[in-house]
Structure 1
Amino acid sequence: MMDTLFWLSTLAIFALLGVSFFFSGSETALTAASRARMHQLARNGNARAGLVERLTAERERLIGALLLGNNIVNILASTLAASVLIRIFGEAGIAYATLVMTALVVVFSEVLPKTLALIRPDGFAMTVSPAVRLVVAVFAPITRMIQLLVNLILKLFGFDADKASAISGHEELRGTVDFLHSEGEVVKGDRDMLGGVLDLSELEVSDVMVHRTRMLALDAAMPPEELIGAILDSPYTRVPLYKDKQDNIVGVVHAKDLLRAIQKADGELARVAPAKIAYKPWFVPDTTSVQDQLNAFLKRKSHFALVVDEYGEVQGLVTLEDILEEIVGDIVDEHDSGVQGLTKQADGSYIVDGTLPIRDLNRALDWRLPDEEATTIAGLVIHEAKLIPEQGQLFTFHNLRFKILRRAHNRITRLRVSPVETKAG
């Protein structure tokens, strides 16, 4: 009789440990399973993926049921082990039961199932989802009462479970992409492209525009031959024309329209008036989000807009290409030469044009210079230094050394940038 009872109790203990294995593994798998992958599989008709998606939608209820079931079986297994060992060893059986059950629970009911679940969380989650659904349904009344009690205790300490902060979808995607890049599963180009898409709604056109100091604009009053020559010699398809002063943009000439006019005039440049074939300029506020500007470009079927500040002063221009480059990186054609304003030196440092946008520098060199307070690298140096630097001055911040090579009036026009470990010449 004693032998039969011993073996039955032992079998019951191992059966309960197996159930505990199921609860622990299910909890880890359903928590670690990719919600995005489950959603996509469910949309493609995978019933178990849909079940996983429904279970994880009520995470508190799910975790509560699994923890409740796990604790019940662990306590039952420990109680049985204690009763069996007490009969064999007397009072010392309690100590033996504690040691044996702790080892068994930790190894076979915690570490092993959770490790297996983390190896293949999606497959594990879909495998156990039907059984977990039944467990959640059975324990629903108890878990609901427990959750109410927990929420009451939290409120007594000033916490409100209903107002739990959640990371935004954009932040979660960005974090996932950066993490996968650090793990080597996403190449830098893909990371930059996905990051650029996520940044569109956070950037303003002033962050991506060509600043007026770098913008080509021609005087509409120039002689026709000279004006046409300047337009055709420029590397740009669209060229703004101004009258009296550069802020007074009166039109934009498209090179293709100009060539058509020259053809109609049988090549006689004196008969062509660029100002008359120019189209009306489109002005947009510098606070317009890049996402909104992209949508506006697509809606108007236009590629070019002039950016103005709150006083109506022209600050620069933005093109569809400028916005696309935020996603795909620099678009280089036969008129471009890579990242303009950035030249690598033999000693590992870089000669940088002061007007080079920080975002372009970060993308090209995989740096992480902040661009919240300044748009260009010169602006960043001025912001960090809290003054207008003199030529030859050195500054060190963000693990980089900046040397001012050239300054024109109050503008930094050229710098040498090098990692702190590299000596700047």
Structure 2
Amino acid sequence: MESIPLGGLFGILAGLIVLSGFFSGSETALMTLNRYRLRNRAEAGYRAAQFAERLLQRPDRLLGLILLCNNFVNIVASALATLIALRLGGEAAIAIATGLLTLVILIFAEVAPKTLAAIHPERLAYPAAFVYTPLIRVLYPIIWLVNLVANQLLRPFGVRPGGLTLDDRLSPDELRTVVTEAGGLIPKRHQNMLISILDLEQATVEDIMVPRNEIVGIDLSDPWDEILEELTNSQHTRLPVFRDNIDDIVGILHSRRVLNAITRGEMNRETLEAIVREPYFIPENTPLHRQLINFQNSQRRIGLVVDEYGDIQGLVTLEDILEEIVGEFTTDPVATRVKGIVTEEDGTNLVNATLHLRTINRVLGVELPTDGPKTINGLILEYLETIPEPGTSIKINGYPIEIVQSSANAVKTVRLKPRLDEEPKSKE
């Protein structure tokens, strides 16, 4: 080293500092890579991404390689700085050189490269992957020995070498955050659809079913003229067929079969009973995501919800579940108003209190709580613990609600006003 001029020593020291910055920055870059973007690029055949993904499969080995190289470079740089100090000022200059080298390494080999790597990890991670892939093979015996000792030290803390792979699985809540933060990368409507799919796990068929007292169907005990009129004027493609009441269900009738029978002139009471399809029953509390799959597997589009005693509680269709994901099947603001919701000139809404809260939230874009009662009638009764008189006003979740019509046993109609933003969102 005595034969190397000071200029050469300074050049070597500068190169070591650059290498130290590369090792420090690449460590941060590789560890902060977006794992899903990395996987996508690797599957697309991007070679640098494939190398990086392979390196990150065993982060203990990657960290062992980086820290081995980084510490070696820093130690050599420290020794070289000491030698330069001795040449320039003797032993008295060693302390100054140590302080200056510490400051230089901190700024140029730690803070600056790591900050750059944290902001733009792909700029440094992918080139580094080309360097580390062959280097880890060359230095594997040393890395293996270092990891062996380090992993033995970690065993008392429950860490095993096989458990060092990165777990990229996301919970539903984390997936919601990813979708929400996608910003302009995903259209807002698509974001809402994706989040609605995740929310299907939290809702059951009871949340969206048509209550049994509102089920529209064909009663075979009615006069034949009335049955024909109902068949002719019905707006539903599929109708339950029963005798006297919905508990004595016969089956489900498709309007296409009715049209074929009428066209052939064969429509009568016996033909009607013959062309119905056997009913499909759905246990209550079935999650919507599970029922969507069940509809697909059974090739059915409509089902009757039954409780543990087999009593019919309501009716659910495939369209009801799909609307939970994509919203109402129309972009017409007037058409999106379901039966039972009337918007007044002052911006308030007259709402049938038997409507499901999820339907009201979806149609009106409000945020009434859905983790308790299923209808706005049930929500009000839970809140007041009594049947309110018309004219009573309350506020739930920041929304003023006025009872417009009630009976002895239920609230019939309410007026729902826009949320008071200045008020807290919790119940009073």
User: In 2, Cα distance between the equivalents of 1:29 and 1:380?
Assistant: 51
User: In 1, Cα distance between the equivalents of 2:199 and 2:337?
Assistant: 20
After superposition, the C-alpha distances for 1:255-302 in whole angstroms (9 at most, x for unaligned) are: 222222222228xx7778644432221112123333332233223322
In the other structure, the counterpart of 1:354 is 353
In the other structure, the counterpart of 1:373 is 372
State the secondary structure of the residue aligned to 1:281. Answer: coil
User: In 2, Cα distance between the equivalents of 1:199 and 1:77?
Assistant: 56
User: In 2, Cα distance between the equivalents of 1:202 and 1:339?
Assistant: 25
Q: Which amino acid aligns with 1:328?
A: V
State the secondary structure of the residue aligned to 1:49. Answer: helix
Instruction: Tell me if the contact between 1:219 and 1:242 (Cα under 8 Å) persists in the aligned partners.
Output: yes
After superposition, the C-alpha distances for 1:170-212 in whole angstroms (9 at most, x for unaligned) are: 44432210222xx443332111221233344554322333333
Instruction: Tell me if the contact between 2:281 and 2:306 (Cα under 8 Å) persists in the aligned partners.
Output: yes
In the other structure, the counterpart of 2:147 is 143
User: In 2, Cα distance between the equivalents of 1:131 and 1:395?
Assistant: 67
Instruction: Tell me if the contact between 2:17 and 2:109 (Cα under 8 Å) persists in the aligned partners.
Output: yes
In the other structure, the counterpart of 2:208 is 208
Cα separation, partners in 2 of 1:413 and 1:107, compared to 1, 3 Å:
farther
User: In 1, Cα distance between the equivalents of 2:225 and 2:158?
Assistant: 79
The alpha carbon displacement at 1:349 in A equals 4.8
Percent identity, aligned pairs only?
32
In the other structure, the counterpart of 1:52 is 52
Gaps of 5+ in 2: 424-428
State the secondary structure of the residue aligned to 1:418. Answer: coil
The alpha carbon displacement at 1:62 in A equals 2.9
After superposition, the C-alpha distances for 1:94-114 in whole angstroms (9 at most, x for unaligned) are: 36643x445433443334333
Cα separation, partners in 2 of 1:243 and 1:55, compared to 1, 3 Å:
same
Cα separation, partners in 2 of 1:164 and 1:24, compared to 1, 3 Å:
closer
Q: Which amino acid aligns with 1:143?
A: N
Residues matched between the structures, number: 412
1:174 matched to 2:176? The reply is yes
Cα separation, partners in 2 of 1:164 and 1:395, compared to 1, 3 Å:
farther
Q: Which amino acid aligns with 1:178?
A: T
CA RMSD of aligned residues (A): 3.8
User: In 1, Cα distance between the equivalents of 2:214 and 2:149?
Assistant: 67
* 306, 310, 319: which one aligns with 1:312: 310
Cα separation, partners in 2 of 1:62 and 1:234, compared to 1, 3 Å:
farther
After superposition, the C-alpha distances for 1:313-361 in whole angstroms (9 at most, x for unaligned) are: 1121121212222322222399x92142555555555444434444445
The alpha carbon displacement at 1:237 in A equals 0.7
State the secondary structure of the residue aligned to 1:317. Answer: strand
1:37 matched to 2:37? The reply is yes
**304-313 vs 320-329, greater mean Cα deviation:** 320-329
Q: Which amino acid aligns with 1:249?
A: I
User: In 2, Cα distance between the equivalents of 1:165 and 1:7?
Assistant: 49
Q: Which amino acid aligns with 2:109?
A: S
The alpha carbon displacement at 1:226 in A equals 1.2
In the other structure, the counterpart of 1:300 is 298
Q: Which amino acid aligns with 1:176?
A: V
Q: Which amino acid aligns with 1:373?
A: G
User: In 2, Cα distance between the equivalents of 1:91 and 1:369?
Assistant: 75
User: In 1, Cα distance between the equivalents of 2:331 and 2:2?
Assistant: 88
Report the TM-score, using the length of structure 2 for normalisation. 0.79
Report the TM-score, using the length of structure 1 for normalisation. 0.80
Instruction: Tell me if the contact between 1:282 and 1:306 (Cα under 8 Å) persists in the aligned partners.
Output: yes
In the other structure, the counterpart of 2:426 is none
Cα separation, partners in 2 of 1:230 and 1:55, compared to 1, 3 Å:
same
Gaps of 5+ in 1: none
Structural mapping, 1:85-164, within 5 Å:
85=85, 88=88, 91=92, 94=95, 97-98=98-99, 100-122=100-122, 124-137=124-137, 138=139, 139-152=143-156, 154=157
